[in-house]
Structure 1
Amino acid sequence: MAQAQSPRPIRLLMLGDSITAAYGLARPEGLPAKLEAALRARSRAVTVIDAGVSGDTTAGGRARLEWALAERPDAVIVALGGNDGLRGVEPRNSQANLKAILDMLKARNLPTLLAGMLAPPNLGADYGREFAEVFQTLARENPDVVFYPFLLDGVAGDPALNQPDRIHPNPQGVDEMVRRMTPAVETLLSKVRPA
């Protein structure tokens, strides 16, 4: 029996901000490169496409989504919201932008992972609750979307895992992010239909 040809790598688009864009790091140390390496180490044929733009908000991600989709991904990670929180954007506006992004991806039948974000504590408890609820509500309303509740889980607030600005992960922080989120990303990849 002839050996089956190996399938082409899954194209996984990561739509994000400076965390995705490897701010302050060499590209190979950034989240897309390290996530791809971790998935390949698990025998997953995946190419992670870096669609991160430093400083981008949910509105910016929404505005450039069509352009990013020109990369013809098979699945998408949406990792936006951190800059909305830093700028105190109205949570309802962030929610509307993320909903529009998720709706467009659903219309294109693209399996999606939504990575949640938390607001910085200096904006107050009420804002923090409303901001966190944005992601929880979208996860409830989109049961087909894989929900990873907090992109910086295990890394935020730990000086040993962040750059001196205490916002952006250092290489060790990226490693921890990859370790924690890889199972959710594998769930996402399981939703990709073979080409």
Structure 2
Amino acid sequence: MAWEALAVSTGVVALAEMGDKTQLLALLLAARFRRPLPIVAGIVVATVLNHALAGAVGAWLAAHVSPAWLRWGLGLSFLAMAAWMLIPDKVDEDDVRIAPRWGVFGATALAFFLAEMADKTQIATVALTVHYAAPLAVVAGTTLGMLLADVPAVFVGDRLARRVPMRLVHGVAAAIFALLGLATLLGAGVSLGF
């Protein structure tokens, strides 16, 4: 179960991140600072902290909310995520204008942490943690998925972004979330307690 949680979390978040505002933020930070290593380090720290927080919320929900409510809430969350995947993200230039005194690492970590608050991948981390009841595997997977999408953006910039068909990628991610939602609503995982 932990391997499945890790694999699904990694794949879904890597797909969800393609064209997401944090990937766009990575592109902007790379263009502005042109120092990939502190940018990548800032992304790693912010993502681990943000997704660990989301994993903790998911674990708390799984422990304190009745299985019937969890099943319906989780199924509807996945369906909402599917719809949300079809809405293109934009990044505000102000997200990159963090005070220079923070340095490249600090500016990146702060900008990424704030950009991820209540973002698709943070909410997906909560939902996947509830679904799989394997918070460490889910947080590792969602973090790895974020890094798979965002780190290449730091190094190859928008040359890669222009070649990837974002509508197709977002459509695949939306389909995966929709399948997870329908499976949950139709009773998949009932033997797991929800």
Instruction: Mark yes or no: TM-score above 0.5.
Output: no
TM-score norm. by structure 2 comes to 0.29
TM-score norm. by structure 1 comes to 0.29
Higher strand share: 1
